[in-house]
Chain A
């Protein structure tokens, strides 16, 4: 029996190749143990082929190990994990053949081979199979190596330990010398600003050094020196791709620190210039550059983890590099359709295909409502519909490549998936302007009518830029205030071939919310949904503080999953402040965190005033549901739209809207002054809500939408 120990550091991209190789190893009588530096749950391997084991150590509880890892070279880190694994040590001792399944596993196998001098140590599955064959054929021959190899290895292990200590110390010294502490010193910052711009440094080295120095300077609060240093280093880099990558990496590093990059525009422009240069010669490279540029422009720190998105403040300036890039413009350039959409059939029910990114609760509601529409045969198409459709929906690079080249196999796969549905449907309703909208418009839809619902947050994402709006018949917005920003972000919407824009509220079934309020609801403010910085719960807390100065009976109930501090440093900063607010207000009973609820109508019975503190909204669903429950609505005048012709007041009654926490508090005090006044205000708001957004009211609008023909 031959014992084989395989080490895999990266999940195999070609899993079938691994499985096939394992079958061949078994066919030659080998027992295989496969150690993975990743969760083995991702592997679909029959138990009889190999025993699987994960050797990544949980570093959370071991700061010393974390420091050791941080000091070591990346290629050595898997080995540092592996040597702590009893399982690996045991099987390495018994192994006749050790195999590095991928290049990142070579160092680990090399180290194991220094300890088991008898075994063969091979890189790659096919060469390992050959080695196994040779070993089987030479069975009985003297084992490799022997005492000499063992002695040399043992000595070498000791010598290397000393050498590594010296090398790691040297690296640590360099890292410390270019670290934040040094950059805080004027002399240190000055020295490094000159060093990265010194002549005759190879581009790659200069790029790495400049990134390190730039990031340290930004951390040290030396942003202006960082800009100058970066510019000086970039001007010395001859290769345009390296220069663009440096600028992009610097911008990403700043975003990781939760900052809006100082040279965001330069970084985006450089990447897009590369994309323009490569667009025809090498579309894959062009796509990489485009993905990098849009990755920066749509980074969540810019739009979701801070309260002022530059896209909404100055869309033209923010997107100017996109407007001037030929490659970026080609992504959304109208490609047209061969025929206009056919009118709905009159001799049979209209076939409606509802395309959704994920089947969640709101989609279920939309699906139920669509099923109720007049004379409609409904089908739902989610991104899990086909074996690889989710992967296709995530693959923005392949979508870009198909748009640029029109001949990629990816395009054929998408068409294979989508085309039968397009052929079946009279009308396709794409919910949310995300990847599904890009995929549906990737090919000519023929006579099928395409309707896309844009909820609002998608404007911050890449996907709308990949949608061919010349193939969309109707774009549905949930509120009129989104029209202007949508046209600013997507200028094609103002072109001749643009789709018709319809404003239709969310299809909401409000009757379940009509329940009596509890007795203590009058002084309970509620905020439903605060899982993003842009929901700005601290604005609601500010309202609460003002109220409590007047009357200590007011309290705030936060309903839903809280903010995640892990998304970015910017979100963490906001969350830190929020936690301080909790610490101050919760002990006094002023703030109550309810957590997520399965029964929102019941939860709302305890809320007398429903707040919307968002920086922006496409459609304030929670506010409307709260108002339907009889809570008095108070909405922030979404600052992202402040100064525009249409904002929150374009959708909501003016008396619901407050520009500042002070105004909001004043409205709350006024409407809750007496029990009667409060209940009356709640009834009025509920009345408006039912008359405006309840499904029976909205449904004819949807019927009308589906009854319409194309351009």
Chain B
């Protein structure tokens, strides 16, 4: 037996694994007369000793935050009966759909939190002094919601999520478009947003509205397809793409209203609380505002690509998690103001009923 066959046998036996006796005897016989294999066996023993006696890094006590997250998890949904299915990416999937114009806010300081939506729930619990608000309670005042959102933003340290977006009425040939938006935030000023256009277009020649936006000192990076300045039905289906990096402007607020709507709730004017109501397995505060008022909630509209138009008076419904104050769901439905019909005709849109969301 030679070294290249003996050493793997020695290695497995060193780990207490069963090895066929003939192979074990042959390996031992070889090693007894082979300096290299003897050195290998001695090295393995030294490594084991080094590994075993090395000081462990201090282990944090994570029991309390883990159990707090579990309590939230238990409240959210029944447990899945299937086997563990690891996601393919470090994103949590949440029921969200948002669009924003690029009004931004600065990130606050705060303690370290787990990079998951449940962290926000822990924060929300701390901020309001009690996690769960029964649906039977009176609706909150908008000012109270704004206070909660600000508190949630102040203690946000890290966050990542994926949003599913459905846009309707883009074009006659493309009545419905589907997107996924990945968002990641790291305190204090690192932000990344990736928009993936998953639409089935009439042909592969159509330029997808896929975008990337990164703010990470010392640079801001953008990539995607150029926006269209005119009406969607007049835009070319093939758009030029761009990729540019500019100096990071530290004074500019980040577009994180997708995560915590701090800019939207910078003022309470024009926002109305509908009710606190169940949404899935959690309670959510339902608010309504105009599309014009909801600008910061939809940053992707200003980053490039081609989007359908929205009337400034279109209705935006937002559901904020009553514990974490993270947006859970957002919809845009056509307004019923008389001016909208003229507007629809100018944009080449059909009559859009007020009871069907055009974005969610």
A binds B: no
